[in-house]
Amino acid sequence: MIQVQHLIKLFGSFRAVDDVTFEVREGEVLGFLGPNGAGKSTTMRMLTGFFPPTSGTAKINGFDIIKDPLEAKRQIGYLPENAPVYPDMTVEGYLKFIAEVRGFSGQELKKKVARAVEICSLEKVLPQTVDTLSKGYKQRVCFAQAILPDPPILILDEPTDGLDPNQKFEVRRMISSMAENKCVILSTHILEEVDAVCTRAIIISNGKIVANGSPEELKRRSSLYEAVTVSLDNVPKDEALNALSALANVERVEILKETPEALVLRALPAGGSVIAPAVAEEIRRRGWRSTQFHVEEGRLDEVFRNITRQ
């Protein structure tokens, strides 16, 4: 549904987006990750037609953003960063304005507005002006604006930024519920969000794509992937360290916590190999009492840091 081809954006001599190419299909929720200033928002602004790319192009549901910008914009619901909504308009007036500009009128307009209001639970604040709303409500109004025309493509720039945990949960729920027959791109720097809603993630750093894969694939790049954390009761430290280090495919063992009764160790595998059964077997064979046994999936934050810090 979205094909991005060699997108480049220069601001002066600064390469904000540097040859970005990717594709998003129907039903996918693509997480756009990257440090601040990596080029996430710039890429989104080009896709939504706010400014043109320096070179390269993108096809939005088949419409080229350069040759057919108006039709491309019709395919997209866009939530810009910080939810910029006219502060002096009422919520109802604002949503009606959006619906009108989107080409709806009469009964259909009313239906579209009502649907957006219902999905985003805005019934209570309809007559209020936007500047009297809390940040969470403002974000929801802007979200309602984006989904109002029921567009095939949603582009959301930091949709949960500045929201409290409950509101974040709500927004993620709304995104997931709508993702089925749409294609969603969302940017974030909250990594748990990628786990929670995204089917795929792209990590962008200094304007370039440095990783592209499902959250699981990305986590596999973590040195913690398939690592085993065990908590052992009343086992001498040296004995435990030596026993676990001696196992095949265990690269090293580190001590996470040490108290007189309990010892928490983490065994790291060599090259992502599976060591959990061997560790479990060793513990059983030696008759140790283990109160905790946990296989790591790998951590996105670690992968993120390793990739983007270079």
Residues in touch with another protein (CB under 8 A): 45, 48-51, 69-71, 73-74, 76, 78, 80, 82, 84-89, 93, 97-98, 100-103, 142, 145
> For residue 53, with 0-12 CB atoms within 10 Å meaning exposed, 13-18 middle and 19 or more buried, which class applies?
buried
The least CB distance from residue 71 to another protein, in Å, is 8
The CA-based dihedral angle spanning residues 118, 145, 151, 62, taken in that order and rounded to the nearest 10 degrees: -170
Quote the CA–CA distance of 307 and 205 in Å, as a whole number: 8
| Cβ distance to another protein smaller for residue 4 or 278 | 4
The least CB distance from residue 139 to another protein, in Å, is 13
The least CB distance from residue 218 to another protein, in Å, is 29
- A 10 A CB-CB count for 1 gives 17
| Cβ distance to another protein smaller for residue 22 or 78 | 78
Which amino acid makes up residue 85?
A: V
| Cβ distance to another protein smaller for residue 130 or 283 | 130
The least CB distance from residue 101 to another protein, in Å, is 5
Q: Do residues 149 and 77 touch, judged by C-beta distance below 8 A?
A: yes
Q: Do residues 223 and 300 touch, judged by C-beta distance below 8 A?
A: no
**Which residue reads 């805005």 in tokens?**
122
| Cβ distance to another protein smaller for residue 100 or 233 | 100
Which residues partner with 267 through β-bridges?
228, 253
| Cβ distance to another protein smaller for residue 11 or 169 | 11
Quote the CA–CA distance of 18 and 2 in Å, as a whole number: 18
| Cβ distance to another protein smaller for residue 99 or 240 | 99
The least CB distance from residue 164 to another protein, in Å, is 23
Beta-carbon contacts of 276 under 8 Å, excluding residues fewer than 6 positions away, are 226, 228, 295
Quote the CA–CA distance of 126 and 96 in Å, as a whole number: 11
- A 10 A CB-CB count for 113 gives 23
| Cβ distance to another protein smaller for residue 97 or 169 | 97
Quote the CA–CA distance of 172 and 266 in Å, as a whole number: 33
- A 10 A CB-CB count for 84 gives 11
The least CB distance from residue 289 to another protein, in Å, is 59
The least CB distance from residue 82 to another protein, in Å, is 7
